[in-house]
Structure 1
């Protein structure tokens, strides 16, 4: 019983970590996009 619980917790943690990683990557891309648009507007 404890082993199944630990496996479920580990799988849940890995799933949430993967989702968080994608969110951070997307935010980084958004910030880069804003920076590029700002540079184009200044030029």
Structure 2
């Protein structure tokens, strides 16, 4: 029984770590998209 709990705990820990990396990557993608939108709006306002 103790071994089964340890295995489940390890699986949950690995899943949590993978989720953190996914969220971090999504955050970077959203930040990059925001920068592109900001640059495009500056160009549209200045008529470039």
TM-score by length of 2: 0.83
The separation in 2 between residues aligned to 1:19 and 1:32, in whole angstroms, is 20
Give unpaired runs (5+ residues) of structure 2. 43-48
**How many residues are matched?**
42
Tell me by how many angstroms 1:12 deviates: 0.2
Structure 1 residue runs without a partner (length 5+): none
Q: Deviating runs (4+, > 3 A) in structure 1? A: none
Deviation at 1:42, TM superposition (A): 1.1
Q: CA RMSD in A?
A: 0.5
- Within the alignment, does 1:21 sit opposite 2:20 as a pair? yes
Larger radius of gyration: 2
